[in-house]
Amino acid sequence: MKKNLIYLAAISSVLVAAACKKNDTVAATPAATTFTINGNVYTESGSNYVLNAATATLGAFATLAVAGQGTDGKAKGGLIFYFPGTSKPAAGTYTVVTDVSKATGNQVGIVAQDSVNVAQQGLYSSVAGSTATVTVSSAGKLTIAMPNTSFTGSNFNNTNPKNTVITTVTVSASGTAVEN
């Protein structure tokens, strides 16, 4: 579990960072879309769609990573949706799965990252049991609506650098993500 969490953290950090690199020319999100992670509300600030080739651990998959900014201007959050396959997901309802490496067909795995401040962060992966609805615009851009979805993962509290506390938690996330 610890090895998988570290692997997910590495992938998540790269994709969320890619979703909000300062030198990207990212079109503004058309409407103020929001998502909530662990009770913290984020307004989407950017997104990045990537089609990934198969790896030794995962088959080919498409990802939509979205980054968000908290209302305080400091907190940051991110969602990464993993769709199995070699093409962009079609419109429809997708079943949320726990293990993205085993996802097939109309299934999606989701990773959520919650950074309330530098010392308090969380990294979570979806728990099977809910659905996400994908719509595709006439321009081919994705919108993903995610009702209240359960996640499990870890909260990292480093307010005391000599004593980092890692707590396993179950949290929820919901909202909308838009590819821009």
Residue 94 backbone dihedrals phi, psi, to 5 degrees:
-115, 135
Asked whether residue 14 carries a pLDDT value surpassing 70, the answer given is no
Give the number of other Cβ atoms within 10 Å of residue 132's Cβ. Answer: 23
Q: Which burial class, exposed, middle or buried, applies to 72 when counting CB atoms under 10 A from its CB (0-12, 13-18, 19+)? A: exposed
Average predicted confidence (pLDDT) for the chain: 83
Rounded (5°) CA angle 145-173-52: 65
In this prediction, residues 33-57 reach a mean pLDDT of 89
Asked whether residue 23 carries a pLDDT value surpassing 50, the answer given is no
* Residues 63-100: tens digit of each pLDDT: 999 999 998 888 999 999 999 988 899 999 999 999 98
Annotate 133-144 with b (16+ C-beta within 10 A) or e (fewer): ebeeeeeebbbb
59 token code pair: 């088959």
* Residues 103-148: tens digit of each pLDDT: 888 999 999 999 988 788 999 999 999 999 999 999 999 999 999 9
Radius of gyration of the chain (CA): 15
165 token code pair: 């506390």
Confidence category of residue 1, pLDDT binned at 50, 70, 90: very low
